[in-house]
Amino acid sequence: MHQRVIDGLYRDLAAKASMGVLRREPLRVWRLSGVERLHLADGSTAIFKYAAEPFTGEDRALRLADENGVPVPELHTSDVQEHTLGMIMEDRGPETRDATDTDGAQAAARLHTVPPLPDLATLDQTRLAGLVDRSLTRLTTLTAAGRWTSVEDLASMLTALSTASNRLSTGAELAPFGLCHSEFHPTSLHISETGWRLLDFARAFNGPGLLDLASWHGTNDDPDPAKLRHLLGAYVAAGGHRDTLATRGGLLAENWALGWHRIWAIAWYLDQSVRWINDPESDPAYIDATRRHLREAVQLLAV
């Protein structure tokens, strides 16, 4: 992203929203996105968020979620210029507490009442299974370029998963199937005195809601099927669909969800390495993460 484009988006959106901004306060900056707090002349604040592809559809996802009754921050205005999205939205202010598993179960149950939305990509059974072959293709590109070396074990695990992917992806379209947040973590659930709001819909898609639930506890620690099973039960108790606990691909729901969530993450790492970031200096970290998640996926999916 070019600072010129970001500044141009900011100026146009601030003018469109008739906001008198005294100063911009950077809160978080990443290679593909950033967040700033805008301090306004009337003493209030707003949030300016910008993002490059593939995150340029977040404003559409926010509007669709809001139209379907999901509590999200109010979007004041947005625009895309030179393949970069800019948004000005309400500032929810400080959180009163961290989100708990109970909060996550209740928020997910609300989110997953939203049916598939036509403006978003859909991860059905065919496309879910296709994540494995896409990852193999990306890996071949990286090894051919001499960047990812000594990764024969990665190719072997992906090949084994590819052979079984059609069988293992069975059940992907069982309920809950619809709007997925895709980065459903406690940090994406903002809780304040006025209630909760779900943030960060940058990678929202239509697909199996179990992938959201599998993402709640993150991927830094070893996968814990028993812990996820407890969350799935709380989700059903909060109004989530009863088929949440059904077996899929011959596996318990929690193992299926955790295994396929790892594969979804692997596909994202490889997409970033080849396309969205394409930085050889990041390769060692991505190789380590891909290897760890592949081992977990193979174990969880019993390949």
Structure tokens that stand for 146 in this block: 């001499």
Residue 10 main-chain phi, psi, to 5 deg: -60, -50
* pLDDT recorded at residue 117: 86
* pLDDT recorded at residue 118: 87
* Ranges of residues in the chain whose predicted pLDDT is under 50: none
* pLDDT recorded at residue 39: 97
Supply angle C-alpha 17, 73, 51, rounded to 5: 70
Distance CA 253, CA 171 (A): 10
Structure tokens that stand for 149 in this block: 């070396």
Instruction: Reduce the secondary structure of 149-218 to three states and give it as a string.
Output: CCCHHHHHHHHHHHHHHHHHCCCCCCCCEEEECCCCCHHHEEEECCEEEECCCCCCEEEECHHHHHHCCC
Which domains does the chain carry? 3-90 (3.30.200.20), 101-300 (3.90.1200.10)
Query: Tens digits of per-residue pLDDT, 215-271?
Result: 999 999 999 999 999 999 999 999 999 999 999 999 999 999 999 999 999 999 999
Distance CA 69, CA 110 (A): 8
Distance CA 245, CA 123 (A): 20
* pLDDT recorded at residue 119: 81
Distance CA 236, CA 243 (A): 9
* pLDDT recorded at residue 88: 98
Q: Residues in the chain, how many?
A: 303
> DSSP code of 45?
E
Contacts of 172 (CB under 8 A, 6+ apart): 123, 124, 125, 128, 207, 208, 248, 260
